[in-house]
Amino acid sequence: MPFRPAKIPFNQTIAAITEYYFVRVIREDTPSPARMSEVACSVQAWVSCMPAFLRIAFSIFLTIFELYGILICGLPFRLQSLPQRDRQMSHWRNSPVKPLREFLLFFRKTVMFVYYSQHAQAV
């Protein structure tokens, strides 16, 4: 029986967080939509291949992340403007709750790893 990765319901959120890191960390002012999509799809595939218990934890954090955006901006993260996203990311980066900070750090490292590993393959 072939392996099939599990579907996750947060593809738009993952794509939005990936886009944020493209603009703010990788510093691509006008990131290529194709390149961003490629990295986001790779991150989504990576998350969908996680063991179930990790995928559930990841989904819980993404749900909390989206709900937090609604609380502070009135919109989920995926629908926010860049200044609103900056505000939400800053809240989580500076949170006294360590798992929230660690979630962003984990996500950032994953996006960076995928971005640079694919970039190295292209060169």
Residue 119: inside a domain: no
Judge whether 45 lies within some domain.
Answer: yes
Does residue 86 form part of some domain?
Answer: yes
In this structure, is residue 34 part of a structural domain? yes
d(CA 82, CA 86): 6
| Predicted confidence pLDDT, tens digits, the chain (123 residues) | 443 444 555 888 998 999 898 888 887 666 678 888 888 898 888 888 889 888 888 889 999 999 999 999 999 999 999 999 999 999 999 999 999 999 999 989 999 898 888 766 655
Task: Enter the pTM of the model.
Answer: 0.82
Compute the distance between CA of residue 120 and CA of residue 122 in angstroms, rounded to an integer.
5
φ, ψ (nearest 5 deg) of residue 97: -90, 110
Domain that holds residue 99: 11-114
User: DSSP alpha helices (H): ranges in the chain?
Assistant: 11-24, 33-48, 52-73, 82-93, 98-122
How far apart CA 14 and CA 46 sit, in angstroms, is: 11
Domain membership of residue 85 (yes or no) is yes
| Sign of the alpha-carbon torsion through 54, 55, 57, 58 | positive
Residue 4 within any structural domain of the chain: no
Residue 48 in domain: yes
Query: What is the domain count for the chain?
Result: 1
| Residue 100 maps to a domain | yes
In this structure, which amino acid lies at residue 71?
L
